[in-house]
């Protein structure tokens, strides 16, 4: 069994906001079989003839298979030895967790069919206790994923054999961490944190599995070493809802020590302990939350009740050797690089990212637009699949303070006939309203890019290469009105079905895409092309100067962070090497007004107040089993004084209480 978490291991936990001290990582070698023709139905019939390194998909080189052919099914098998620390007693349960399996997973435990889960991007768990009959446990997973199904949730996965244009290699099968966790029969199953800055309160909603009569819950909240809340209450049923009133200092300068923002990413540590009626500790979990609010006021986006200009970058979340999978350290380094490039936000594009990446956005301070991976075709299957999977993802990520907006639909993907099919308009509206019903604390985008029938923002994708043309379109209220009525970027109408769009926060949520490449890759492309890093920097400066002159904008999202297969329009290569001096790129990103604010003296965009109170950061872990080590180029790209101990943001909840041991 895994030893209690050490301080520098907290980053590696697959579920950062509901952590227990002991868990067993099952990543690593599994037996496998590529069932391309989908001819096998039962585990006993499967000839496991190869090894695959989980959680890397078979299409990735890091998996040890590196086969990008079409396949309908992949089978996995692993036998886990159960020592005394893993074997559950009659009052305990053994939980098997899957971070994500694409697209439909069937799981057998010791020959017994245990569960089916549909949806390739969300997590699921199985109580395997009933299937145990000794000191070993056989896990068999059948992952079914039709590569030609255009109505399932796909994101950027290509339907052609080789990646082309903006489409990337498929990610089949298990592609997130698999792990075991022993818990008491009565245990904390789910947490949700909600901050209300206006009343200076934090709300906790917790689901407790198998509620025991007479049990109590103790909640402790800390700001650094200061205890803010120590609350014990009787658990009358299997759900706890509790409001915690914090001591409000009132004045902004004092409140700033408490509140989360990219410039001061203050987190509040949390511990939840479940006690039986006789006082016995049944469960203890470590979590964190933050005081942060996001809202819309007229045509401005507000963070903590103040207008906040979002400087975002589009992030595809792919790595050349491992595709959509990354180690804990690779995820951390991407957040560091985004901040060093001068951005205060990121739009994770067509992908649900690893919760450990969201953890680092929380810790280091990045505003995240969380986006639903799209289907391509429209049908009743699309409606059911997209809605169910989106609900899972919103529920998974809803407590992360870094997420400031939800993007359920992008560029009419999955709804290709919005202009002509009433059902598709209703589906986009339904996704918008369902998201608002699930989470009433964040703005929701209707259809990012164009053909918007609803939404709290107006988001436009415009890759025009002339900076002055962008100023003409978005630089004045008069020009903006003309753009809405007469300009059609990508030959698409911007707003439809009576949605006006004016009077709402306006974002240029995709633009730029300047490629920098040689002639070695004839398929490489960008929306415009620079010959070398020097020309890239000059073009980027002129483009960003134009965007900063567009006063009606509430922010922007530049395309994109890294090169991704044939797309060569990243500010970084696929290996995360900057194509131009990173400090010069950051200066252009931040714009001339950044000089007015003292927080930009820190290369990570942190305020002087924040730098004065933070503590040295523990050395990060090197990653999971079989994780790809950092290349020399990656190390060079991310090295800098801000990465050294004492210069980065502290982690929350590092000191585990004695009960966790």
User: How does pLDDT run across 386-415, given as a tens digit for each residue?
Assistant: 999 999 999 999 999 999 999 999 999 999
Q: At 350, is the secondary structure helix, strand, or coil? A: coil
Q: Is the pLDDT of residue 344 over 60?
A: yes
What is the reported pTM? 0.91
Q: Is the pLDDT of residue 658 over 50?
A: no
* Euclidean distance between CA atoms 569 and 562, whole angstroms: 7
Query: Exposed, middle or buried, 574 (CB in 10 Å: 0-12/13-18/19+)?
Result: middle
* Euclidean distance between CA atoms 294 and 305, whole angstroms: 7
DSSP 649: P
Residue 366: both structure tokens together:
């990045």
* Euclidean distance between CA atoms 650 and 363, whole angstroms: 7
Q: What is the pLDDT of residue 637?
A: 31
Q: What is the pLDDT of residue 520?
A: 66
CB 574 within 8 Å of CB 581: no
Beta strand 403-407 with 458-461: parallel, antiparallel or unpaired? unpaired
Peptide linkage before 532 cis (omega within 30 of 0): no
Name the helix (H) or strand (E) containing 528. Answer: strand 528-530
* Euclidean distance between CA atoms 290 and 627, whole angstroms: 31
CB 507 within 8 Å of CB 556: yes
User: How does pLDDT run across 263-300, given as a tens digit for each residue?
Assistant: 999 999 999 999 999 999 999 999 999 999 999 999 99
Q: At 492, is the secondary structure helix, strand, or coil? A: coil
Q: What is the pLDDT of residue 642?
A: 35
User: How does pLDDT run across 96-116, given as a tens digit for each residue?
Assistant: 999 999 999 999 999 999 999
Beta strand 306-307 with 300-303: parallel, antiparallel or unpaired? antiparallel
* Euclidean distance between CA atoms 430 and 433, whole angstroms: 5
Q: What is the pLDDT of residue 602?
A: 82
* Euclidean distance between CA atoms 248 and 116, whole angstroms: 47
Q: Is the pLDDT of residue 641 over 50?
A: no
Q: Is the pLDDT of residue 140 over 60?
A: yes
H helical segments located in 270-415: 328-340, 355-364, 380-397
88 confidence band (pLDDT: 50, 70, 90): very high
Q: What is the pLDDT of residue 596?
A: 67
* Euclidean distance between CA atoms 121 and 103, whole angstroms: 8
Q: Which domains does the chain have, with CATH numbers?
A: 7-184 (2.60.120.260), 310-606 (3.20.20.80)
Residue 612: both structure tokens together:
């004065």
Residue 438: both structure tokens together:
């699930």
Peptide linkage before 287 cis (omega within 30 of 0): no
Q: In the chain, how many H helices and how many E strands?
A: 11, 31
Measured in residues, the chain has a length of: 661
Region for residue 585 given its phi and psi (left: phi exceeds 0; alpha: psi -120 to 50; beta: otherwise): alpha
Q: At 596, is the secondary structure helix, strand, or coil? A: helix
592 confidence band (pLDDT: 50, 70, 90): confident
User: How does pLDDT run across 29-71, given as a tens digit for each residue?
Assistant: 999 999 999 999 999 999 999 999 999 999 999 999 999 999 9
Query: Exposed, middle or buried, 357 (CB in 10 Å: 0-12/13-18/19+)?
Result: buried
CB neighbourhood size of 331 (10 A)? 22
Beta strand 310-315 with 345-348: parallel, antiparallel or unpaired? parallel
Q: Is the pLDDT of residue 638 over 70?
A: no
Q: What is the pLDDT of residue 11?
A: 61
| CA distances from residue 462 to 205, 267, 448 in whole angstroms, order as listed | 41, 36, 12
* Euclidean distance between CA atoms 189 and 497, whole angstroms: 42
Query: Exposed, middle or buried, 136 (CB in 10 Å: 0-12/13-18/19+)?
Result: exposed
Stretch among 302-311, 476-485, 648-657 having the lowest mean pLDDT: 648-657
Q: Is the pLDDT of residue 544 over 60?
A: yes
DSSP 616: P
Q: What is the pLDDT of residue 373?
A: 96
Stretch among 224-228, 431-435, 656-660 having the lowest mean pLDDT: 656-660
CB 452 within 8 Å of CB 409: no
Token look-up 């429209």 returns 378
List % helix, strand, coil for the chain (3-state, nearest 5).
25, 30, 45
Q: Which residues contact 243 (CB under 8 A, 6 or more apart)?
A: 201, 202, 203
Beta strand 458-461 with 506-512: parallel, antiparallel or unpaired? parallel
Residue 515: both structure tokens together:
């490629």
* Euclidean distance between CA atoms 347 and 510, whole angstroms: 10
Residue 145: both structure tokens together:
């994923």
CB 277 within 8 Å of CB 374: no
Token look-up 């936990």 returns 13
* Euclidean distance between CA atoms 205 and 440, whole angstroms: 15
């Amino acid at each position: 069994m895994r030893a209690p978490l050490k301080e520098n291991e907290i980053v590696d936990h697959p579920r950062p906001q509901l952590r227990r001290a002991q868990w067993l990582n099952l990543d690593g070698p599994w037996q496998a079989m590529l069932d391309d023709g989908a001819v096998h139905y039962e585990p006993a019939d499967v000839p496991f003839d190869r090894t695959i390194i989980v959680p890397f998909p078979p299409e990735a080189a890091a998996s040890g298979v590196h086969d990008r052919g079409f396949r309908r099914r992949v089978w996995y098998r692993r036998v886990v030895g159960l020592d005394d620390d893993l074997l559950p007693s009659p009052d305990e349960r053994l939980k098997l967790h899957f971070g994500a399996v694409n697209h439909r997973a069937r799981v057998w435990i010791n020959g017994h069919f245990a569960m089916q889960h549909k949806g390739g991007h969300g997590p699921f768990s199985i109580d395997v206790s009933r299937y145990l009959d000794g000191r070993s446990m056989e896990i068999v997973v059948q992952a079914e994923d039709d590569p030609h199904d255009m109505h399932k949730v796909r994101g950027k996965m290509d339907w052609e054999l080789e990646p082309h244009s903006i489409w990337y290699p498929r990610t089949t099968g298990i592609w997130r961490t698999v792990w075991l966790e022993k818990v008491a029969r009565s245990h904390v199953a789910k947490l949700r944190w909600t901050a209300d800055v206006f009343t200076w309160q934090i709300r906790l909603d917790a689901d407790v599995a198998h509620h025991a009569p007479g049990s109590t819950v103790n909640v402790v909240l800390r700001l650094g070493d200061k205890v803010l809340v120590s609350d014990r209450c009787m658990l009358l049923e299997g759900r706890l809802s509790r409001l915690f009133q914090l001591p409000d200092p009132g004045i902004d300068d004092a409140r700033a020590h408490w509140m989360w923002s990219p410039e001061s990413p203050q987190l509040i540590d949390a511990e939840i302990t479940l006690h039986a009626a006789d006082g016995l500790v049944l469960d203890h979990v470590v979590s964190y939350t933050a005081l942060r609010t996001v809202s819309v006021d007229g045509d401005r986006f507000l963070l903590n009740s103040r207008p906040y200009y979002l400087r975002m970058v589009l992030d595809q979340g792919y790595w050349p050797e491992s595709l959509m999978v990354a180690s804990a350290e690779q995820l951390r380094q991407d957040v560091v690089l985004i901040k060093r490039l001068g951005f205060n936000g990121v739009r994770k594009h067509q992908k649900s990212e690893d919760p450990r990446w969201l953890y680092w956005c929380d810790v280091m301070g990045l505003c995240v637009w969380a986006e639903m991976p799209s289907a391509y075709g429209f049908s009743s299957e699309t409606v059911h699949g997209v809605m169910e999977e989106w609900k899972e993802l919103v529920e998974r990520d809803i407590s992360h303070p870094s997420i400031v907006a939800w993007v359920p639909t992008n560029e009419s993907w999955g709804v290709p006939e919005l202009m002509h099919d009433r059902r598709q308009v209703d589906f986009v509206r339904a996704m918008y309203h369902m998201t608002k019903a699930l989470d009433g604390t964040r703005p929701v985008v209707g259809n990012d890019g164009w053909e918007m029938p609803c939404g709290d923002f107006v988001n436009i994708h415009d890759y025009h290469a002339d900076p002055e043309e962008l100023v003409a379109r978005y630089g004045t209220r008069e020009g903006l009105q003309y753009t809405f009525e007469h300009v059609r970027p990508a030959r698409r109408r911007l707003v439809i079905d009576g949605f006006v769009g004016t009077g709402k926060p306006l974002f240029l949520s995709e633009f730029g895409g300047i490629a920098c490449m040689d002639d070695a890759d004839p398929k490489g492309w960008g929306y415009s092309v620079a010959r070398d890093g020097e020309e890239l920097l000059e073009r980027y400066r002129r483009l960003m100067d134009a965007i900063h002159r567009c006063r009606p904008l509430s922010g922007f999202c530049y395309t994109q962070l890294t090169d991704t297969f044939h797309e060569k329009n990243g500010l970084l290569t696929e290996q995360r090497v900057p194509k131009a001096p990173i400090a010069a790129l950051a200066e252009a990103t931040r714009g001339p007004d950044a000089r007015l604010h003292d927080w930009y003296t820190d290369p990570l965009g942190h305020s002087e107040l924040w730098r004065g109170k933070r503590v040295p950061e523990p050395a990060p872990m090197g990653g999971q089993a079989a994780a790809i080590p950092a290349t020399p180029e990656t190390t060079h790209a991310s090295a800098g004084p801000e990465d050294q101990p004492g210069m980065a943001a502290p982690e929350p909840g590092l000191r585990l209480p004695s009960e966790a041991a």
